[in-house]
């Protein structure tokens, strides 16, 4: 059910929750804001017992589970905040064919619906969403071909050793060992391409205090991207 824990730039704890399992989300947890599943939660661990709800959470005053920050996710396997901008990047694992990266700009309030299980990435999966439901589409996607199977969300590079890659978001695929670079061009278009092909089962990314990026291999290795 869980995919990741991380404190955001606002000091709150963000908690990634999958849709609870079973193929296709038969309980429609991704579209049910009254359950904590299929969402990223946001709580204040410095207040309350055992925690408090931030006042600007979208359902803090009712209409859904007060812990929810964003919804419509299947299996958010690793998310991260850009240390410079506060932008939120989410690697959401697909069901049958498509993997996706979802994006929420820093400063944008929660309540965003990323579409599962109406959509798998940009592709219709279940029924059409109601007319009053707004969906935030992913900024990039890729298909289960060339040995790819499951996305692992990464981090924006803010280090010094690779200045030409400053501001690039890196993420990977668990099965193929590919590492992708994602950038937003001046005209607002997002471009993603494979930049490494490693003999690894990539399970997670992280950064050190200098902004350099590391990745984890399921077989036990810790690697620095260079």
Average pLDDT over residues 173-192: 94
Residue 48's H or E segment, with its range, is none
**pTM (2 d.p.):** 0.96
Beta bridge partner(s), residue 52: 44
Measured between alpha carbons, how far is 81 from 105 in angstroms, rounded to an integer? 10
pLDDT-derived band at 141 (thresholds 50, 70, 90) equals very high
Nearest to 111 by CA among 44, 45, 174, 65: 65
Q: What is the pLDDT of residues 87-122, one digit of tens each?
A: 999 999 999 999 999 999 999 999 999 999 999 999
Q: Are 159 and 153 in contact (CB under 8 A)?
A: no
pLDDT-derived band at 186 (thresholds 50, 70, 90) equals confident
Burial class (CB in 10 A: 0-12, 13-18, 19+), 145: exposed
Residue 128 DSSP one-character state: P
Average pLDDT over residues 39-58: 97
Average pLDDT over residues 53-69: 98
pLDDT-derived band at 188 (thresholds 50, 70, 90) equals confident
Measured between alpha carbons, how far is 168 from 180 in angstroms, rounded to an integer? 10
How many C-beta atoms surround the C-beta of residue 116 within 10 A? 31
pLDDT at 201: 98
């Amino acid at each position: 059910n869980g995919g990741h824990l991380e404190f955001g730039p606002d000091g709150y704890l963000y908690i990634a929750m999958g849709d609870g399992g079973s193929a296709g989300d038969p309980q429609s947890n991704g579209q049910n804001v009254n359950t904590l599943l299929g969402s990223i939660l946001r709580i204040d661990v410095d207040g309350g017992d055992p925690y408090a709800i931030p006042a600007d959470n979208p359902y803090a005053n009712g209409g859904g589970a007060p812990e929810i920050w964003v919804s419509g996710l299947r299996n958010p396997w690793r998310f991260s905040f850009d240390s410079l901008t506060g932008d939120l990047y989410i690697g959401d694992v697909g069901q049958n064919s498509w993997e996706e990266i979802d994006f929420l700009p820093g400063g944008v309030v929660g309540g965003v619906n990323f579409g599962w299980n109406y959509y798998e990435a940009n592709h219709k999966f279940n029924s059409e969403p109601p007319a009053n439901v707004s969906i935030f589409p992913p900024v990039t996607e890729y298909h289960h071909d060339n040995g790819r199977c499951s996305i692992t969300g990464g981090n924006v590079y803010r280090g010094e050793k690779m200045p030409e890659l400053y501001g690039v978001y890196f993420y990977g695929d668990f099965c193929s060992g590919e590492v992708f670079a994602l950038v937003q061009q001046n005209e607002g278009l997002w471009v993603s391409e494979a930049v490494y092909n490693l003999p690894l089962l990539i399970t997670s990314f992280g950064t050190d205090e200098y902004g350099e990026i590391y990745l984890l291999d399921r077989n036990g290795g810790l690697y620095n991207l260079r």
